[in-house]
Structure 1
Amino acid sequence: MAFSGDRDTELGRIAGARFAVTAEDRMTAENLVQDMGGIPFKVDESDRILYHAAMTHASNHLVTLIVQSSAMLASISVKDTAEVLRPALAAALENALMRGTAGATGPVVRGDIGTVTEHIRALSERMPEILPVYRVMSQAGADIALTAGRISEDVKQRVGQAVGVPSNDSEPQHASGGS
């Protein structure tokens, strides 16, 4: 669970949320989670830091991507960027959670290297501070799409060339969706 300081909103999110339990007194910890309206599940203590890294990557880094996307839209005078982004974000999140790699969309998955190249050019000229994240995320998306059979090795290599990031030759771990 991510808490940003809006107590009333965040307390309302606890009901039905899942909480990892690593405590030695597992029964007490699970009862506490259930008393708050949460749903406990066990994570081995040896896996706690990877669990936390996964949750940080999913939630905190999502905020980074949204803030950067909002900044791009605001830079071209788009008003109410949250409402402009909301439908696309909701669809992408639902697709990712329900379909895993099959839910990926966009120019990388389509093998549209021309569009990726144009994105790199525009970011280089207008928002260079966002470029490093865009490059790494595009290449990570290509690595995952290749592993899922969505793109060819050639397309993955061309994405790497377009974004200027060497491809990751190790097989990435990815969500299969629907769990």
Structure 2
Amino acid sequence: MLFLSFLACDKTCHLYFSVSLSFIFAILYPTATSNKLCVSSCVGKINGDYQYCPDCRKYVACSNGYKHIMPCPAKLVWDDNLKRCEWMSSTCPGSTTARTTISVCETSCVGKIYGEYQYCPDCRKYVACSNGNKYIMPCPANLVWDDNLKRCELTSSTCPGSTTSSTPITGKYDVAKRFDFLLFCMVERHF
């Protein structure tokens, strides 16, 4: 069951809430299992790429009303939310393709301009390289770094034995420091 029981902010823009992680991820990464995503014709469609429901390993590229069925690269499936081929899909029911690439842990950022990498001592953190400087960054609560996706997730294909908790997040959190997405605080509450 998804729920949001309380949401408010104070004058310092701290967010007070009690929300389950599944609620947050339902907003950030909605899944769709209905055929609303499927394209059977490109007539009248905006040029772009769409879900091809008969086969998750393909997608439909619509161009000037014409439908082109395109293959994803080997071992990848189409994710309509991301509009690209991925190792796993949140929009293709039954997608079970898993990542098999094991990342290399980054120990130095010397010579690197920018990038994010696996931090091997702790799956709940990652290394951010910026202009040759190394910064060890925490993932939000209950998340672990996935180096293939280059982001914090509920589970990781690059950090062996990573597990997460389904415990709801509760209490006071500094939004800017705790989440990868930005929430604006309306101090005077004029909506």
**Higher helix residue share:** 1
Q: TM-score, normalised by structure 1?
A: 0.25
Q: TM-score, normalised by structure 2?
A: 0.24
**Higher strand residue share:** 2
